[in-house]
Structure 1
Amino acid sequence: MSNLGIFIDESGDVGSNSEFYLITMVFHDQASSIEEQERRLRHELDLMGLHSGGAVHSGPIVRKEDEWKNVDLEKRRKVFFKMFSFVRLCPISYTTLSVRKKECRDRFALRGRLANELGAFLRDNLAFFQGFESVVVYYDNGQALVTDLINTVLCAYLTNVDVRKITPSEYRLSQAADMLCTLELMREKSENGIGMSKSELIFFESRRRLSKVFLKTLKKLEFPKS
């Protein structure tokens, strides 16, 4: 039996600064190599004059923030699409837990809701996880809530779990989880009638293009893969 890698990223916070709280988990059977996909992405980023060893953070690319604040729109779109192509071609699947925070009276209710949803997902798919010799969880310990859920709920359901604290630049699949979480947040906003921000509208051009080019494509990666 092979090992299963689970790469985790989140969007939102336990305070009042976000409408939703999302946790995305990317699943990778480590017997399936992604070396060729990584090599291609590294080469394409090098051709664009970017430091290919750095992390590609999707949110700042869309919002023109941090290291992307002085990068023009065309180049940011190209980098985003290169990363999206990498995600699409990798032998992975993913799922996203999503909670609209106004449905939770406080952070404890939010934690309970996410714990219930994670537990239900693991119970429903226990046979899949038991088909691996071990499970390696990769997370950057960005938020205490997610670290807590990993160490309690996930480790309670799965045996032979190795939890590793990482930095996103170490693993492309951590960056894949970041991109998928970013796009799933866009899906939640769209399905709940929340308008796109100015930066999102500039970057994706329209909700229709966002759905057609990106969100519909991701259906093929949703766990379990069809």
Structure 2
Amino acid sequence: MLALRMQLTPAPNATRTIPAHKPARHAGTIAFRHSDVILVNTQIVSNADLQPPGLSPAFFLSGSRMRECSIFVDETGETGRDARQSEYFGVSLVFHEQDDAVLPLFDAYQETLANKHLPDIPLHTEPLLNGNGPYRSLPPSERQQLLRSFLLMVRKLPVSYVTFMYEKSDFRNRSTNSFDSPRLRSRLTRDIATYLQNHLLYFQQFDKIKRYYDNGQKLVVCALDDAIHDVISTEAIEARLASQVDYRLAQVADFICTVELTARKYRTSHQTQTDIRFFGSEKEFRKNYYRIVSRLQMPEA
């Protein structure tokens, strides 16, 4: 149902589209599944003759109900002049089908915070872990409770995700000994496009895809837009500016991106004292956090 929206104006003697829930009978002799043919002006024509390339046959038979998918984006790591401040660069995409209710889970999370006498601060994991910004006045024990409460909400959410994580050392320009941002952008674009292509049947279920991102890094914006537009029709995409303050699912993307980064750091023995203080040993982290979050990863196509 992604790709171009197509208007069909029936002729006065046109027959109706075959219902999706049962076979049709024409002149009492021929029965077809809806995936095989459509009846137009009493002539039998194939879907291939009617649909634009990449358009699902179900588009013509699903009625007027719009299906939408939201993609919430967050990144970790610096690029450009600040690239040396971190060893990794990662981008997480969190997918939510807008038919799936999330507000009751958000309400339950707020109730949990109120019962524990914890502030409902829009989750931003970097300042939370380091005690900066709005978390400056909170002791580590309360910040740990905030992180754990958020995890317990995330594990129940009807979302899925994918994370692309890179070691910056793989993108160093040897001649200038500097970080090669264009090469990382090219790699990220290719990886996202390949992922979308591999899951194209899933994304073709939707009439519209809304991409939410705070536009924090131009490299990510360009890679996302290039990849999405290469694979999915531009008419189906809507880009929206989003921050953790405005969208709870943007906070989810931030949280998942941090968990995936922490998993990579433990795996390569680059964990920090802050990681150990909040998550414990690698075994404890994997049991108490990563095992829970990684269950939400979108299955391989």
TM-score (norm 2): 0.71
Please name the residue that 1:71 is paired with: 138
Please name the residue that 2:255 is paired with: 179
**Deviation digits for residues 58-106 of structure 1, max 9, x if unmatched?**
2222222222122112211111011111111110000001111111131
Give the whole-Å Cα distance in 1 for the aligned partners of 2:186 and 2:170.
Answer: 12
Give the whole-Å Cα distance in 2 for the aligned partners of 1:83 and 1:92.
Answer: 14
1:44 corresponds to which letter in structure 2?
T
- The percentage of counterpart residues that share the same residue type is 27
Give the whole-Å Cα distance in 2 for the aligned partners of 1:181 and 1:92.
Answer: 14
What is the DSSP-based 3-state SS (H/G/I as helix, E as strand, rest coil) of the residue aligned with 2:211?
strand
Is there any run of 5+ residues in structure 2 with no aligned partner, and where? 1-65, 173-179
Spell out the pairing of 1:38-117 with structure 2 (5 A cutoff). 38-52=106-120, 54-105=121-172, 106-117=180-191
Q: Which has the higher helix share?
A: 1
- Note if contact 1:8-1:23 (Cα within 8 Å) is conserved in structure 2: yes
Give the whole-Å Cα distance in 1 for the aligned partners of 2:293 and 2:70.
Answer: 19
Please name the residue that 1:167 is paired with: 243
- Give the CA deviation at 1:218: 1.9
- Note if contact 1:99-1:114 (Cα within 8 Å) is conserved in structure 2: no
Establish whether residue 210 from structure 1 lines up as the match of residue 285 from structure 2: yes
What is the DSSP-based 3-state SS (H/G/I as helix, E as strand, rest coil) of the residue aligned with 1:169?
coil
- Note if contact 2:75-2:254 (Cα within 8 Å) is conserved in structure 1: yes
Which structure is richer in relative contact order (CA contacts within 8 A, separation 6 or more)?
A: 1
Q: Aligned in 2, Cα 1:125/1:23: closer, same or farther, shift over 3 Å?
A: same
Greater Rg by CA: 2
- Give the CA deviation at 1:47: 3.4
- Give the CA deviation at 1:193: 2.6
Give the whole-Å Cα distance in 1 for the aligned partners of 2:111 and 2:259.
Answer: 24
Please name the residue that 2:68 is paired with: 3
**Deviation digits for residues 115-146 of structure 1, max 9, x if unmatched?**
11111111111111111111011101111111
**Deviation digits for residues 7-58 of structure 1, max 9, x if unmatched?**
0000001122111110000000100010110101122223344553x41112
Please name the residue that 1:220 is paired with: 295
- Give the CA deviation at 1:217: 1.4
Q: Indicate the RMSD between aligned Cα atoms, in angstroms.
A: 1.7
